[in-house]
Chains A and B, each alone.
Chain A
Amino acid sequence: MKIAVLSGKGGTGKTFVSVNLAYIQEQVTYIDCDVEVPNGHLYLPMKEPAVQPVYLPVPSIEDSLCTGCRTCIDFCSFHALCWTGSRILHFEQNCHNCGGCSIVCPTKAISEKPYSIGNICTGSFEHVGVMSGSLNPGQMQGCAIIRKMIAQTRDLKNLVLDCPPGDSCHVVQSILEADLCILVTEPTSFGASDMRICIDLLKLYNKPFGIIINKSLDTRNQIKTFCRRHNVKILAEIPLQPELASLNASGQIAAKNPEYRRVFERIFKNAQALIHQQNQ
């Protein structure tokens, strides 16, 4: 089963849920799709990981061939090229690496050269396969790294995809091939609002999904009310516990403790049931 874990709001416990949910499974691979700030590898440290750099093509302009026609500037949707009066200047900050400028150039003055934007680390922690993407600070095309990780693990059966917060293209890219999505939320008005945005996104993609209420308190819980009203399945409610918080803060796998292991086994079982239900 390919499970994507997302949240909308940051810091609700996506990585906490993802690493533990991977740890209780056999023959599973954990993929950290939060390539801007990956943290899964802190919980699932790899011994001697294989590091593969990720390259994107960036335009390289041969001034001697450029006639100054500015076709490339007119084409570029991202204002990444400009004319200085004597030559074309390329702004890497704006470039989306679409390759359009090298196609439109009538004198073939623009070619592309590979540029490293980050890397993918592959390895394992105990019985869990681990893949962790990392975008270099200052770079913007994190989607390319996520796409590459997903392409390389397409044939694997069991995946846990740890998504970034928000509902950006990074999240869309991460959930595309998931069988099931788990939304981790916290019982605050911020958590509820961001959860609703993510539910709308998952509905657009027709993805089966369930909710985990993390850091749950005894007080009035607007998440439960919302889920009841909208017929959304709650997979688990994890109470706010100082012990769990400090375990997690220090990068420990909570599921190594039998009591917490049961919590994640139940989540996994509920998730399986949800897919089963969906397939009927």
Chain B
Amino acid sequence: MKQLLILSGKGGTGKTTIASSFIALLHAQQNEVCFADCDVDVPNLHLIFSEKQTFLSEEAVFRRRAVIDQQLCTHCGLCDRYCRFGAMKNGVINSYLCQGCGVCELVCPVCSQEHKAVYMVDICSGNYRVSATPCGTFSTAQLRPGAGATGKTINTVKENLRRFCTDTPVAIIDGSPGIGCPIISSVAGVDLVLLVLEPSCSGLSDLERILKTVRQLKVPAVGCINRVGIAPAFEQQLRDYCAEQQLPILGEIPFDPLVIRAINHSRPVVDYPQSPAAKQIALLYERAMEYLQDLQ
């Protein structure tokens, strides 16, 4: 299975719009399609593909977290002093900041027969989901608010693709914005990264950072420019920067209000053949698939 990951650095540049269109186009050409949403903090791909889905698997996401037994706690403050994540404050744990390292439990001097005053538990923070949709097999995770995706969550979402789709030639993966922990995990092991670029000063600055991150991980990358026609000066700057960095631009997608309408009707924009953006996305798809097949 060859995996194509769609990323951007900057948020809101059109990752999900392009991912959903690629999935629809793949589905139109062959029967076996599989895809994943690795933006598990604020997922959106399910808004387009959840109709008529049947669940194939649902497993709990567990995270290791510290808890305090207030009856045992003597408020000595050692855990507070050793916690590097700012998760301990006056004998109360902020479980959203706790990384589950276990240092607080290690340094806690008070112990009952069962456990220390601070001890680690596995708590359920959401569900991994694999479903069969009319467009193909879909892997994602649904987390409780603030639970935060970890590298492990992202890895499992991607592993589930391999587990449930053994004969599928191509997988489309929708990524999250940024360059940190979840992105590094989503890039690891994919065959090609498609960067969706936005012509703006922010888009240009973020491209530099995401490209550096992807190249550090030694995964080949290609790009496309979205919402062309709004800021021509930045479009040219993007093209120049990509040429300088030898990042192939596989397509340019015009700004098109129909994209917003398609999203609000929970449809991939390629379902609207009159859309100028859809035409360019279809071309981009052809080129990206060709590029993916030519990779060794």
Interface residues of A (CB under 8 A from B): 7-12, 15, 34, 36-37, 39, 42, 75, 77-78, 93-94, 96-100, 103-104, 135, 137-140, 142-144, 147, 164-173, 176, 186, 188-190, 193-194, 197-198, 200-201, 204, 217, 219-220, 222, 242, 245-246, 248-251
B248-261 vs A: 1/0 string, CB under 8 Å? Answer: 00000000010011
B47 / chain A contacts, CB cutoff of 8 Å: 189-190, 193
Q: Across the interface, do B84 and A97 meet the contact criterion of CB distance under 8 Å?
A: yes
A94 / chain B contacts, CB cutoff of 8 Å: 151
Q: Across the interface, do B44 and A9 meet the contact criterion of CB distance under 8 Å?
A: yes
Give the residue of A34, A99, A190, A245 whose beta carbon is less than 8 angstroms from that of B84.
A99
B184 / chain A contacts, CB cutoff of 8 Å: 93, 138, 140
- 8 A-B pairs in the complex with CB atoms less than 8 angstroms apart: A10-B10, A135-B179, A137-B213, A165-B12, A169-B97, A169-B148, A219-B261, A246-B231
Give the residue of A36, A99, A246 whose beta carbon is less than 8 angstroms from that of B178.
A36
A11 / chain B contacts, CB cutoff of 8 Å: 10-13, 177, 198
Q: Across the interface, do B97 and A37 meet the contact criterion of CB distance under 8 Å?
A: no
Q: How far is the CA of A104 from the CA of B102 in the complex (A)?
A: 11
B9 within 8 A of A: yes
**Given A99-B103, A193-B47, A37–B209 Cβ distance below 8 Å?**
yes
Q: How far is the CA of A99 from the CA of B106 in the complex (A)?
A: 11
Q: Across the interface, do A143 and B85 meet the contact criterion of CB distance under 8 Å?
A: yes
Give the residue of A39, A97, A140, A198 whose beta carbon is less than 8 angstroms from that of B181.
A140
Q: Across the interface, do A42 and B145 meet the contact criterion of CB distance under 8 Å?
A: no
**Contact count band on B:** 35 or more
Q: Across the interface, do B106 and A103 meet the contact criterion of CB distance under 8 Å?
A: yes
Q: Across the interface, do B231 and A250 meet the contact criterion of CB distance under 8 Å?
A: yes
A97 / chain B contacts, CB cutoff of 8 Å: 84
**Other A-B pairs, 18, CB within 8 Å; known A172-B146, A193-B47:** A8-B42, A36-B180, A39-B206, A42-B202, A77-B101, A98-B101, A98-B103, A103-B103, A103-B107, A137-B216, A140-B180, A140-B181, A143-B86, A166-B42, A166-B177, A189-B44, A189-B47, A190-B44
B164 within 8 A of A: no
Give the residue of A10, A78, A138, A140 whose beta carbon is less than 8 angstroms from that of B177.
A10
Q: Across the interface, do A188 and B260 meet the contact criterion of CB distance under 8 Å?
A: yes
What is the minimal beta-carbon distance from A183 to any residue of chain B, in angstroms? 12
A144 / chain B contacts, CB cutoff of 8 Å: 84
Q: Across the interface, do A189 and B178 meet the contact criterion of CB distance under 8 Å?
A: no
Q: Across the interface, do B206 and A37 meet the contact criterion of CB distance under 8 Å?
A: yes
Q: How far is the CA of A144 from the CA of B84 in the complex (A)?
A: 8
Q: Across the interface, do B41 and A190 meet the contact criterion of CB distance under 8 Å?
A: no
What is the minimal beta-carbon distance from B17 to any residue of chain A, in angstroms? 9
Name the residue on B nearest A143 (C-beta): B85
Name the residue on B nearest A194 (C-beta): B42
Q: Across the interface, do B205 and A39 meet the contact criterion of CB distance under 8 Å?
A: yes
Q: Across the interface, do A250 and B233 meet the contact criterion of CB distance under 8 Å?
A: yes
Q: How far is the CA of A62 from the CA of B198 in the complex (A)?
A: 47
B199 within 8 A of A: yes
Q: Across the interface, do A189 and B12 meet the contact criterion of CB distance under 8 Å?
A: no
**Given A137-B213, A167-B42, A197-B42, A36–B12 Cβ distance below 8 Å?**
no
A249 / chain B contacts, CB cutoff of 8 Å: 199-201, 230-231, 234
B97 / chain A contacts, CB cutoff of 8 Å: 143, 169, 172-173
A164 / chain B contacts, CB cutoff of 8 Å: 177-178
Give the residue of A99, A173, A220 whose beta carbon is less than 8 angstroms from that of B82.
A99
What is the minimal beta-carbon distance from B202 to any residue of chain A, in angstroms? 4
B261 / chain A contacts, CB cutoff of 8 Å: 219
Q: How far is the CA of A200 from the CA of B144 in the complex (A)?
A: 9
B3 within 8 A of A: no
Q: How far is the CA of A160 from the CA of B9 in the complex (A)?
A: 22
Q: How far is the CA of A188 from the CA of B261 in the complex (A)?
A: 8
Give the residue of B8, B176, B182, B264 whose beta carbon is less than 8 angstroms from that of A188.
B264
Q: Across the interface, do A167 and B201 meet the contact criterion of CB distance under 8 Å?
A: no
Give the residue of B146, B180, B202 whose beta carbon is less than 8 angstroms from that of A167.
B146
Q: Across the interface, do A142 and B200 meet the contact criterion of CB distance under 8 Å?
A: no
A77 / chain B contacts, CB cutoff of 8 Å: 64, 99-102
A250 / chain B contacts, CB cutoff of 8 Å: 200-201, 231, 233-234
Q: How far is the CA of A97 from the CA of B210 in the complex (A)?
A: 23
A99 / chain B contacts, CB cutoff of 8 Å: 82, 84, 103
What is the minimal beta-carbon distance from B264 to any residue of chain A, in angstroms? 5
What is the minimal beta-carbon distance from A34 to any residue of chain B, in angstroms? 8
**Given A12-B12, A39-B202, A167-B146, A190–B180 Cβ distance below 8 Å?**
no
**Given A10-B10, A201-B145, A246–B230 Cβ distance below 8 Å?**
yes
In the complex, which residues 131-154 of chain B have their Cβ closer than 8 Å to any Cβ of chain A?
145-146, 148-149, 151
